[in-house]
Amino acid sequence: MSFYVTTPIYYVNAAPHLGHAYSTIGADILARHQRQRGEDVFFLTGTDEHGEPVALAADNEGVTPRELADRNAARFQELMPRINASNDFFIRTSDPEHHAKVQEILTRVKDNGHVYEGTYEGWYCPRCADFKTDAELEDGNRCPIHHIELTRETEDNWFFRLSTFEEPLKRLYEERPDFVMPRHRYNEALSFIRGGLQDVSLTRAKIRWGVEVPWDPEQVFYVWFDALLNYYTALSYAREGEDLVDRFWPATFHVIGKDILKFHCVFWPAMLMAADLPLPEHVFVHGYLLMDGEKMSKSLGNVLDPFEVMDRFGTDALRFYCFRDVTFGQDGSVSTTQFEARYETELANELGNLASRTTNMVARYRDGFVPEVELDAALAASFEGLPEEVAGLLDRADITPALEAIWQRVRRLNAYVADTEPWQLAKDDSRAGELDRALASLIEGVRVIAVLLHPYLPDTVEKLQAALGTDEVEYAAAGFGARRLERVEKVEPLFPRFAPA
């Protein structure tokens, strides 16, 4: 089966921050997991380069939008390998192939009768690149997100008949209760639709930086429609000479943050219906990582730099922490203190020690040879059904509960070490059989944990598996007792003490 997962494409008006890394790592975990299961996976990320936010930022810096876009897109491209994102393509909406495809699809939307000429009058936030209703404004006609004062704008635009999709969208939500996940976001989107939909501007007249409207070259497409279409256009040119649309469209998961719910859960399905294209299977909406209670963003200035975090703690520590401390799908606070605590107690002590103690003992007591004996039945029982449980959770993008299920077994293995006390067994020759069983069972547990943790901690698992003498991460190997390792080596420290800042 095919599995197509996307991240939001990121604005190039600022440098990457932890929020961007968060969405991308979330999508990456899903992509890696599905690859383990042998699915045909395509994972897309990229940059959103048009529109007023970028044009304004470029103006402020005294460079052209393209210069700013090139400079910052490069920083996002650099971020991907650093966070170990296994994306199959990186789209830039300034790609000429994207332009051509956007023009083709939106012309079809017009030909299908969903576009008309009109005049827009209302509030507009250039930082959001979004129109605001009176009800949404804060006191003093301010943007509720950026707190800047907004002006009323009047513009002759081409409009998209969003209102005519109110009923079809309600039907969609009725028929597909998992179109938007988690449930509270589904409810939010549905109540937005039930509140009544108004037509929206499809084009902008005052901006030059964007995809030109083929039937009215004085205008460019409103950046959101150009941006949303990236999920579809990328498939037509990601592989030279190959069109991946039939293979991967519709997308399985669009992973997004809650700030862009309206665009993905309302505008996007309506636009696809208007273009006669199939709808994605799921939009997964995650929450915000908060620092001091405010959404982390460049404009608010409280940015936790993912590059700095990774320099200090390593990539996997970042990947782990983001999904461990805050449930994917909910808001939650992150902090350096919590980060350090998790690193030490869970990564270094629980996982790191388990791996080193286990491999150490086999090296010491059995010369590295894994005893060929029957495995401990009670330990085996506590792993029963685990791969299915994790797969079931990750099929719904429940990344945090899946990690918790795996981590319970990490703890179970540590408890097993404490209970069996192999170092005591080693003192008594008459208990050699018990020692054999304890060591073989522990190694098997660690092997399984490694397979299951691969999507979360790819680097760590690679190191651990090198010591275990295997590189198999296929899901068939995720069952306790599914494989038998022969020889292991002492693992290098997986989570060394970090240097003080």
Residue with tokens 């693992």: 491
Cβ-closest residue to ligand MSP? 19
CA–chain centroid gap for 84, Å, is: 12
Please report, for residues 365, 453, 471, 476, 491, the alpha-carbon distance to residue 466 in angstroms, rounded to integers and kept in the order given: 20, 15, 7, 19, 8
Specify whether 132 is catalytic. Answer: no
Specify whether 258 is catalytic. Answer: no
| Catalytic position from the list 99, 101, 114, 128 | 128
User: Does 232 sit near ligand MSP (CB under 6 A)?
Assistant: no
Please check whether residue 307 is in contact with residue 492, taking contact to mean a CB–CB distance below 8 angstroms: no
Strands 294-295 and 289-291: antiparallel
Give the nearest distance from C-beta 57 to ligand MSP in angstroms: 12
Q: Which of 3, 4, 5, 10 binds ligand MSP (CB under 6 A)?
A: 10
Specify whether 101 is catalytic. Answer: no
Give the nearest distance from C-beta 25 to ligand MSP in angstroms: 11
User: Does 227 sit near ligand MSP (CB under 6 A)?
Assistant: yes
Q: Of 62, 36, 83, nearest to 305 (Cα)? A: 83
Judged by DSSP in three states, 63 sits in: coil
Q: Which of 3, 4, 5, 23 binds ligand MSP (CB under 6 A)?
A: 23
* Length of the chain counted residue by residue: 501
Separation CA 454–CA 70 (nearest Å): 33
User: Does 9 sit near ligand MSP (CB under 6 A)?
Assistant: yes
Give the nearest distance from C-beta 121 to ligand MSP in angstroms: 25
Site for ligand MSP in 40-99 (CB under 6 A): 48
Size of the site for ligand MSP (CB under 6 A): 21
Give the nearest distance from C-beta 439 to ligand MSP in angstroms: 43
Show the tokens assigned to 42: 């395509």
Separation CA 48–CA 29 (nearest Å): 22
Give the nearest distance from C-beta 79 to ligand MSP in angstroms: 12
Alpha helices of 454-494 — where are they, by DSSP H?
A: 458-468
Q: Which of 3, 4, 5, 19 binds ligand MSP (CB under 6 A)?
A: 19
Based on CB atoms, which residue is closest to ligand MSP, 19 or 458? 19
Specify whether 322 is catalytic. Answer: no
User: Does 445 sit near ligand MSP (CB under 6 A)?
Assistant: no
Please check whether residue 231 is in contact with residue 42, taking contact to mean a CB–CB distance below 8 angstroms: no
Show the tokens assigned to 386: 């685990």
| Catalytic position from the list 146, 170, 258, 262 | 146
Separation CA 11–CA 268 (nearest Å): 18
Judged by DSSP in three states, 177 sits in: coil
Secondary structure element (H or E) that encloses residue 412, with its range? helix 399-420
Please choose, out of 78-86, 119-127, 293-301, 478-486, the segment that lies near ligand MSP by the rule CB under 6 A.
293-301
User: Does 353 sit near ligand MSP (CB under 6 A)?
Assistant: no
Catalytically active residues are 17, 20, 125, 128, 143, 146, 295, 298
Contacts with ligand MSP by CB under 6 A lie at: 8-11, 19-20, 22-23, 48, 227-228, 230, 256-257, 259-260, 288-289, 295-297
